[in-house]
Amino acid sequence: MILPIVAYGDPILKKVAEEVPENFENLKGLVADMFETMYNANGVGLAAPQIGKSIRIFVIDPSPFADDEELSKEEKEELKKGKKAFINPQVVKRNGEDWAFSEGCLSIPGITEDIFRPEEITLTYRDEDFNPHTETFTGLMARVIQHEYDHIEGILFTDKISSLKKRLIKNKLNNIVIGKVSVDYRMRFPKAKKRH
Ligand code: NI
């Protein structure tokens, strides 16, 4: 089922999300809905707060990045197999140099900004069967994971840009809050004006 994506300005995007209990009802169904919602919006990642649930789950599939000519064969293979769900992830370690990448977000349509993040991340998480994993990710996998991890901590990429850049996009952000933005997927705007 495709769910509406919560837009910038909704307070749920600023909340630290809650742990998912092991007996959580229909976890697999929710994860399947999140993948469907993400693919429908041509996204590479989606976190539960973005569908209005303040719980520690996110899904990623960075395979569209595998088309990048500059990547090595190994990196391309890793991205192609990158479809994954993370339940109760916890960052263990961040490593390597910070590098910039132009990020966007399904909750903030029409805006992209260069964001600096470390090259490598190690985290513990549960899969959909609640089996525990500890894994290290690099490059674009680590990039997408860190963006989504921020979502369950109540952080958006627009929180990481300079105040000057933020001023420059202020009008665009205000327009998203009221739904004055064109998107080709279903969204829920915090202060949408009624349409007739
Ligand atoms: Ni996002």
pLDDT exceeding 70 applies to what percent of the chain? 98
Rounded distance from Cα 149 to ligand 1 centre (Å):
9
Euclidean distance between CA atoms 70 and 46, whole angstroms: 26
Output the average pLDDT for the chain: 96
State pLDDT tens for residues 10-28: 999 999 999 999 999 999 9
pLDDT level of residue 102 (50, 70, 90 thresholds): very high
Q: 78, 103, 113, 148: which one is catalytic?
A: 148
- What's the whole-number mean pLDDT along residues 100-119? 97
Sort residue 47 into left (φ over 0), alpha (ψ -120 to 50) or beta. beta
How confident is the model at residue 190, as a pLDDT? 94
Residues less than 5 Å from ion ligand 1, measured at CB = 105
Please give the model's pTM, rounded to 2 decimal places. 0.96
Rounded distance from Cα 76 to ligand 1 centre (Å):
22
How confident is the model at residue 195, as a pLDDT? 59
Quote the distance between the C-alpha of residue 50 and its chain's center: 8
Give the residue with greater pLDDT, 131 vs 194: 131
State pLDDT tens for residues 143-166: 999 999 999 999 999 999 999 999
Rounded distance from Cα 45 to ligand 1 centre (Å):
7
Rounded distance from Cα 196 to ligand 1 centre (Å):
30
Residue 154 and residue 167 in contact, taking contact as beta carbons nearer than 8 Å: no
| Domains of the chain, each with CATH number or no CATH | 5-188 (3.90.45.10)
Whether 148 is catalytic is yes
Rounded distance from Cα 3 to ligand 1 centre (Å):
15
| pLDDT value at 184 more than 80 | yes
